Structures are given as structure tokens and as C-alpha cells.
Amino acid sequence: MQATPPDTTLQQDIPRWMVILLAAACGIIVANLYYAQPLIGPISRATGISPGAAGLIVTLTQVGYGLGLLFIVPMGDLFENRKLVLIGLAATCLGLAGAALAQSAAQLLVSVLVIGLASVGAQVLVPYAAHFSLPHTRGRAVGSVMSGLLLGILLARPLASLVADLFGWHAIFGLSALLVAALGVVLSRHLPQRRPPAGMHYGALMGSMWVLVKTTPVLRRRAFYHAMLFASFSMFWTASPLWLASPAFGLSQKGIALFAFAGVIGVVAAPVAGRLADRGWSRPATGVALLCGSLSFLLPLLAPGGGDVALALLLLAAILLDFAVSANLVLSQRAIYALGGEIRSRLNGLFMATFFAGGAAGSGLGGWIYAQAGWSGVAWLGFAFPCAALLYYLTELRGRR
């Protein structure tokens, strides 16, 4: 099969079925990063991980993903993309099988690290929508694929809780391994080749990414904003299942799953944020997103003792936080993608690696701070992260004046 020509020579647009396939594939792959998040309680008890170290289960997954974003995703500018995606799916299956069979802390932690590292195949797939689209439909196609990815993130937590409630926590990893294997078969048959033009070697590509960090202030600013929001997001969804399962609420895994379904509402922020950005309102919309992220952690402090009022406030906080994270992600990606198509994949890798590092820090701190100071400690630390981003955001406003 010949390499696909540059998109300037494309005679027809990407088929709708291909956009749907790419969106579904991205959602299925990225969901693997979040299955463990609402299950760290039962997983840590079964594998002997202490409560203070339970956050490592999620942290190592995100650390692996961050490393993959930095060192594997840029390979999409050098090697044939279809083969790269299929290798990643095979490695993801191995990691999921290891987690499904894990009986010890060591096996579980190694497996989740592999899952995170291999799941970056989703970020190799996203550019397909742009590469095979005509210029006037490119934004819509990429937006549809990103919606699939976002739904995968938001649905993973409640799905994991429901499956764990019915069949135990091992089952979600086994089922996902089968699903990823089936996805690999489908993509091997229908995903076209995408061979990048010959250019710089891998070392030069890595070096150019550091140059981009130093010379692109929009990237640095947007990466910091979202790293802080994503740290608070990961902290919330790591610690809140522990609190919900505690005597304060006494929810089962099914109850925690129903609670987590509230996060799906946050996906409506993505198209809203996109329309605001198209109208030139990115800056005020960013401020609103960061403010919502901060306020979401103050709401549960109004009723810290548990009960129906506390549960309602925590649910509202979850919706507000997920809305803030979804909106800020779209606003940030739009600002970064506008910097130039020739460097877009590297900018995307740097941006995502930075904010996933924030998420890894938030996950690790979430389990530890909950064990040390309870939910109030989580709330105040979670509040501090978006507040730091807000302070940095104010320097942007001052610079404009």
C-alpha cells in the first residue's frame, strides 16, 4: 500500500464512519487510564497497598501516559502511524491482562504503568481526523474525535464501579482487554496507512520539543492552567470514592458509579467552550473555568459531616469541576493548535504531557492527603491548585492592559 498523499491533494473528505471509528477508538483506549480511579479502595485492600499509598495505582497510570506522550507520540512524525497504533494496542492488552490477573501490589503497579504507557495510541489516532479531512471540515472532524475521547474519560469511572459491583474489580480490566483486542482487529482492517514525510531523526525531534517549550509562551501558560485544573480533578476523583464508601455516606460500588455518572454532564462544556472561543471570548471563558474549578472544592466544605445535604453538595461540586476541566481543555487546545500546523503534534504532546503530570501529582496526593487529613484536607488542597492557575491568569490580564 502506498503512503497517503499530503492532505492538500485529497480529493474527498474523510467518511463519517471513519470519524465515528476514530472517536470510538480514542474513547475505548483512554478509558483504560481511569478504570482504577473509583476502585482504589478494593484494589488496595486486595493487593496489600496501604491507604496512604493507594493513590499510586492511578498515579503510575498517568505517569506512564505522560512518558508516552513525551517519548512515543512524537514518533508519529517519523514512523508509519497505523503500525504504531497497533503495537500500542497489543501492549495495552498485555497490561490489562496483567491487571486482571494481579494478586500482588508489584504485579498490579507494573501493569497499570504499562497500561498508561501504551494508551498513548489515542494521541496518535487524533491527527488522522485532520490528516484525512478537507480544510473546511477539519475542525468539525477533530472536534468529533475529541468528543469521543472525552466521553471515554467521563464514562470510565462509573462503568468500572458498576462492573466491580457485579463481578469484582478484576473484571473491568479483563473485559477491557477483550475490547481493546477487538478494536485492534477492526483498526487493522480499516485504518489507512499514514506515513509521514521523511524528515528529522528521533533525537532531533526530541530536541525541537525543548526549543518549542522555551519559545512558545502560549504553550507554557496553557499547560500550567490545565495542569493545575487536572491535578485538582484527579485528586477529587481519587479521594471522593474513598469518602463516599466511608461511614459518612456508606455507598456501595453501585452507588459510587451512579454518583460518577454525574461527571458525564461535564461533556456539554466542550462545544460551549468551542463556540465561545470562535467568538473571541477565550480569555474570559478561561477565567470562568478556573474560577469554577476553585469553587467546586469549597461547596462540600459547607456540609463536612456527611448526610444527604453533603452528598448533594459533593454531586454539584463534581459537575462543576468536570465542566471546568472540559471547557478549559477545549479552550487550551484551540489556542495551541492555532500556533501552526507544522508543529501541532509536538505542541499537543507537550501540552498533554504537562497536564497529565499535574494529574499524576493530584492522584498521588489525593490518597495520601485523605488518609492524613480526611476530606477537608483534600478540599483545601484541591482548592489551592486552580487558585494558583487563577493567580497566573491575572498576570495575563495585566499584560493585556
* Mean pLDDT, range 11-40, rounded to an integer: 88
What pLDDT, on the 0 to 100 scale, is given for residue 93?
A: 97
Per-residue pLDDT reduced to its tens digit, 94-121:
999 999 999 999 999 999 999 999 999 9
Q: Is the pLDDT of residue 5 over 80?
A: no
Q: Is the pLDDT of residue 8 over 60?
A: no
**The three three-digit cell numbers of residue 108, written as one number:** 498490579
What pLDDT, on the 0 to 100 scale, is given for residue 260?
A: 80
Write out the chain in H/E/C secondary structure. CCCCCCHHHCCCCCCHHHHHHHHHHHHHHHHCCCCCHHHHHHHHHHHCCCHHHCCHHHHHHHHHHHHHHHHCHHHHHCCCHHHHHHHHHHHHHHHHHHHHCCCCHHHHHHHHHHHHHHCCHHHHHHHHHHHCCCHHHHHHHHHHHHHHHHHHHHHHHHHHHHHHHHHCHHHHHHHHHHHHHHHHHHHHHHCCCCCCCCCCCHHHHHHHHHHHHHHCHHHHHHHHHHHHHHHHHHHHHHHHHHHHHCCCCCCCHHHHHHHHHHHHHHHHHHHHHHHHHHCCCHHHHHHHHHHHHHHHHHHHHHCCCCCHHHHHHHHHHHHHHHHHHHHHHHHHHHHHHCCCHHHHHHHHHHHHHHHHHHHHHHHHHHHHHHHHHHHHHHHHHHHHHHHHHHHHHHHHHHHHC
Q: 332 vs 209, 224, 285, 329, 335, CA distance in Å?
A: 18, 10, 11, 5, 5
- 3 pLDDT band, cuts 50/70/90, is very low
Q: Is the pLDDT of residue 182 over 50?
A: yes
What pLDDT, on the 0 to 100 scale, is given for residue 196?
A: 72
What pLDDT, on the 0 to 100 scale, is given for residue 9?
A: 47
What pLDDT, on the 0 to 100 scale, is given for residue 37?
A: 83
Across the chain, what does the average pLDDT equal? 85
Domain boundaries, the chain: 9-199, 203-401
* Mean pLDDT, range 182-200, rounded to an integer: 85
What pLDDT, on the 0 to 100 scale, is given for residue 341?
A: 60
Q: Is the pLDDT of residue 343 over 80?
A: no
Which one, of 236, 220, 223, lies nearest residue 357 by Cα? 223
- 205 pLDDT band, cuts 50/70/90, is confident
Amino acid identity at 165: D
What pLDDT, on the 0 to 100 scale, is given for residue 207?
A: 85
Per-residue pLDDT reduced to its tens digit, 120-161:
998 888 777 767 777 666 656 766 777 788 789 888 988 998
What pLDDT, on the 0 to 100 scale, is given for residue 2?
A: 37
Class of domain 9-199: mainly alpha
* Mean pLDDT, range 210-228, rounded to an integer: 92
Which one, of 123, 115, 85, lies nearest residue 351 by Cα? 123
**pTM for the whole thing?**
0.79
* Mean pLDDT, range 184-191, rounded to an integer: 95
Write out 84-107 in H/E/C secondary structure. HHHHHHHHHHHHHHHHHCCCCHHH
Highest mean pLDDT among 43-57, 173-187, 293-307, 370-384 belongs to 173-187
Please give the CATH number for the structural domain made up of 203-401: 1.20.1250.20
**The three three-digit cell numbers of residue 251, written as one number:** 455507598
Please tell me the distance from the alpha carbon of residue 65 to that of residue 58, in angstroms, as a whole number: 11
